[in-house]
Amino acid sequence: MSIVVTGATGALGRLVIEELLKRTAPGDLVAVARDRAKAADLAARGVEIKSADYGRPETLQGVFAAGDRVLFISGNEAGQRLTQHRAVIDAAREAGVGLLAYTSVLGGPTATFSIAEEHIATEQALLASGVPYCLLRNGWYHENYTGALATTLKIGAVVGSAGEGRVATAARRDYAEAAAIVLTGSGHENTVYELSGDTAWTMAEYAAEVSRQTGRKIPYNDLPPERYVALMVEAGVPALGAQMVADADAGIARGELAATPGDLSRLLGRPTTPIAESIADALKQLPA
């Protein structure tokens, strides 16, 4: 029996592996990646590497074994994820895994923005499979915003279409630590966790904190969705991705990503990372 992390070389997957290495021996871990070369550093540390592609179901055969505890990190190919996710669920069921923890979206079936659609359908497929499950319904990451700080400072404004809606973000590392706790703990079978930060903030409040930390006046420019999409496309974001981001902002405006039930901080046994701390960390990474 192993602890298996799919999508292990992605931003979240790597952080989960690091958290797991604090809690268990590397020989107990399996990192699943499309490109084995990208996991070479993990192999050098004693983690077993298996190669698989969600989009090629035949590659999933033999990835899981009976009793494995699996973190199933959702795919990133919008429009193809449900088919790919069903292939992962089928492979896990056939192998007889002991737990399949899936990174879903905050609110699950109550979320109405388009990014949630494939997550909701995946949850339904997982529940119907009979595989012991844990739904890790992740809210938005701080990094969704702090990752764009260079652009924010370049244009001198935070730009979005979320109005006065609040969003309860947490650091990606917080979500990774929670996943590692579930994978190495007990009593998480057939459970649902609504994971979000302890505090929900508005985009104007985010802009004010960026202003405070940089000493610059950085406003929040709230745009109509159509203008926001056009601006992202002009910046090189694919049209579908831009539309989904703007649609998610509409969900934020409706309050769909503002919930603060406390599941994440309870799993962690500590408060979630404040957005101000992640802003400070991101600013340190920017070129002088």
CA separation, residue 157 to residues 148, 154, 164, 268, 286 (Å): 11, 8, 16, 33, 17
Rounded to two decimals, the pTM is 0.96
Which of helix, strand or coil describes residue 145?
Answer: helix
User: What are the start-end ranges of the E strands in 63-113?
Assistant: 69-72, 99-105
Torsion-angle region of 195 (φ positive above 0: left; ψ -120 to 50: alpha; else: beta): beta
pLDDT tens digits, residue range 252-267? 999 999 999 999 999 9
Give me the long-range contacts of 106-110 (CB less than 8 A, separation at least 24): 106/137, 106/138, 106/139, 106/140, 106/168, 106/194, 106/195, 106/196, 106/256, 106/257, 106/259, 107/137, 107/194, 107/256, 107/257, 107/259, 108/135, 108/137, 108/192, 108/194, 110/256
pLDDT tens digits, residue range 46-75? 999 999 999 999 999 999 999 999 999 999
Distance CA 130, CA 187 (A): 17
| Entry field: residues in the chain | 288
The per-residue pLDDT string of the chain (288 residues; one tens digit each, 9 = 90 and over) reads 899 999 999 999 999 999 999 999 999 999 999 999 999 999 999 999 999 999 999 999 999 999 999 999 999 887 788 999 999 999 999 999 999 999 999 999 999 999 999 999 999 999 999 999 999 999 999 999 999 999 999 999 999 999 999 999 999 999 999 999 999 999 999 999 999 999 999 999 999 999 999 999 999 999 999 999 999 999 999 999 999 999 999 999 999 999 999 999 999 999 999 999 999 999 999 987
Please give the helix or strand (H or E) that residue 89 lies within, else none. helix 81-95
